[in-house]
Amino acid sequence: MKAIVAHQYGGPDVLKFEDYPDPVPGPGEVLVRVAAASVNPIDYKRRAGLTKDFYPMQFPSLIGVDIAGTVVQIGPGVEGFSVGDQVFAMADNTYAELCVINAAVLAKIPKGLDLIRAAALPLATVTGNQLSSATGIKAGQMVLVVGAVGSVGRSAVFTAKERGAAVIAGVLKRQMDEAKTVGADQAVATDDDTAIANLPPLDAVADTVGGRTAEKLIAKVKPGGVFASVVGAPQNAAKYPTVKVAPVFSKFDRQTLQFMAEAVRDGKLVIPISQTLPLSEAAQAQAAAEKGGIGKILLVP
């Protein structure tokens, strides 16, 4: 098969489009022909060596976590999946034509959802759902979602609204128009200190950004409230002992993924896709993703 192979840590140029041995499914595993993979921050952080202390690469190494595709072979002991099923998952080594996936972390794509677009959903939508859930937000409470125009942020907004909460979309000044599309009740520019100062007391914050923004916003959480984050605790968290800080690490949950995917299929949740590129252009795709912007980038073998 063809795959994106890294032989060392470095910039996007270390990603090479090469021949690589076809994977073979073992017990409990499924072989999937990849229809699309999507580019996530964890992909380029791993490539750059920023995660080698807890998520190292063994060279030559494949890369990628999001996948949508079609089952082509079933390993021993697998039940519930058949050859020809359209599936998606958070897996490993997804920048390739073929991928072996543990059946325990595989989900069937809801009928009516486009196979290629489904690749944009696993990591971002599950993370956003789990981030929002980690705030413990309830109906009638108010939560601020920071980075609300990103894929994780949009998913967190949707989940909070499903719980009946009032949601403020935290975005940059230049994203205020885009913030109108995420389904929040209102928006605030997080790079405007006056706007932050004028925020009402918050029951919770769901953070995807970190840094100075997080340090400013934890001060707006009510005593007994929750500051949940996918990027770690604010550096000044110790100053606010009455605020519970909840770190969030995405974990696969089939029911959550299918629920979020059905919301996308039904138009209740929109995860924008900015580019669809050939797998061979993974280096260009990661370089573009690192520059930021709105919308997922998909890689198609």
Q: Residue 64 — left, alpha, or beta (φ > 0 → left; ψ -120 to 50 → alpha)?
A: left
Quick check: helix, strand or coil at residue 69?
A: strand
| Positive or negative: CA dihedral 102, 105, 111, 117 | negative
Q: Residue 79, CB half-sphere, CA atoms under 13 Å: how many?
A: 1
pLDDT tens sequence for the chain (301 residues): 999 999 999 999 999 999 999 999 999 999 999 999 999 999 999 999 999 998 999 999 999 999 999 999 999 999 999 999 999 999 999 999 999 999 999 999 999 999 999 999 999 999 999 999 999 999 999 999 999 999 999 999 999 999 999 999 999 999 999 999 999 999 999 999 999 999 999 999 999 999 999 999 999 999 999 999 999 999 999 999 999 999 999 999 999 999 999 999 999 999 999 999 999 999 999 999 999 877 999 999 9
- Residue 90 pLDDT: 97
- Residue 293 pLDDT: 78
For 151, the enclosing helix (H) or strand (E) is: helix 151-162
Query: CA 149 to CA 180: how far, in whole Å?
Result: 9
For 3, the enclosing helix (H) or strand (E) is: strand 2-6
Specify the amino acid at residue 35: A
Query: CA 49 to CA 14: how far, in whole Å?
Result: 12
pLDDT per residue as tens digits for the range 105-150: 999 999 999 999 999 999 999 999 999 999 999 999 999 999 999 9
- Residue 33 pLDDT: 98
- Contact 124/149 with Cβ under 8 angstroms? no
- Contact 270/167 with Cβ under 8 angstroms? no
Quick check: helix, strand or coil at residue 91?
A: coil
Quick check: helix, strand or coil at residue 142?
A: strand
- Give me the residues paired with residue 87 across strands: 69, 108
- Contact 121/271 with Cβ under 8 angstroms? yes
Q: What angle do CA 282, 257, 24 make, to 5 degrees?
A: 55
Q: Which two tokens stand for residue 44?
A: 């380029």
Query: CA 118 to CA 185: how far, in whole Å?
Result: 27
Q: Which two tokens stand for residue 47?
A: 């490539």
